[in-house]
Amino acid sequence: MPGDHRPPTRVRVLLAEDQGMMRGALALLLGMEEDMEVVAQVAAGDAIVDAALTHRPDVALLDIELPGMSGLDAAAELRRQLPRCRVLILTTFGRPGYLRRAMEAGAAGFLVKDGPVEELAAAIRRVLDGETVIDPALAAAALSAGPNPLTARECDALKASADGATVADIAARLHLSESTVRNYLSSAIGKTGTRNRMEAMREARRQGWL
């Protein structure tokens, strides 16, 4: 007797994307896959972990640049609090540094958003099967780019200077001395081959190191 041919269990997907139109389109398209169900949609990074703990997705699709918390930071927190949830980074910004940071955060895949939804659905199934799925062009670029030359503290100093903060402001935020902050910023400027800390910050962001 004919009936519903959908599989008895469906892949539960959490979707984190701050652009409403993109988020809605992805949810609609993935929902059309017979073996998938979007169980949660969030627009901010700091909502990801709570939504995941509530809805228990099998896969979390995370953008990187989100308000509140980056998708990379959320991926690391998901690995700690919900290790069975596989993370797939889906971003507009195919930066080599982002790929390295995503893998360090425990992501199972990294894709850029301009691919067809069929490839995304296939990638979701593959990461659930235990595979690691990475955009081939980005993987090649990451290998040629080399590792992030900045230390964690140099990155912190650059991030803290993003709003034009003074050295004194940065020192207060990071609980460091002003001379230590100057040393970190000077080192970051040298490593990025730039002329000042604002240029260094922009270059580090362009490379995906921040």
pLDDT (tens digit per residue) in 115-129: 788 889 999 999 999
pLDDT value of position 87: 96
**Strand ranges in the chain using DSSP code E only, listed in sequence order:** 11-16, 36-42, 59-62, 86-91, 109-112, 133-134
Nearest to 64 by CA among 16, 104, 100: 16
Considering the entire predicted model, what is its pTM? 0.68
pLDDT value of position 27: 93
Residue 6 has pLDDT above 50, yes or no: no
Please tell me the distance from the alpha carbon of residue 65 to that of residue 71, in angstroms, as a whole number: 6
pLDDT value of position 53: 96
Q: Among the listed ranges 37-46, 62-71, 129-138, which one has the minimum average pLDDT value? A: 129-138
Q: What is the pLDDT of residues 157-194, one digit of tens each?
A: 988 888 888 999 999 989 999 899 998 998 888 888 88
Winning range, highest mean pLDDT, from 56-70, 107-121, 180-194:
56-70
Residue 136 has pLDDT above 80, yes or no: no
Residue 2 has pLDDT above 60, yes or no: no
Tell me how many helices (H) and strands (E) the chain has.
Answer: 10, 6
Burial of 161 (0-12, 13-18, 19+ CB in 10 A): buried
Hey, what are 100's tokens? 């390295």
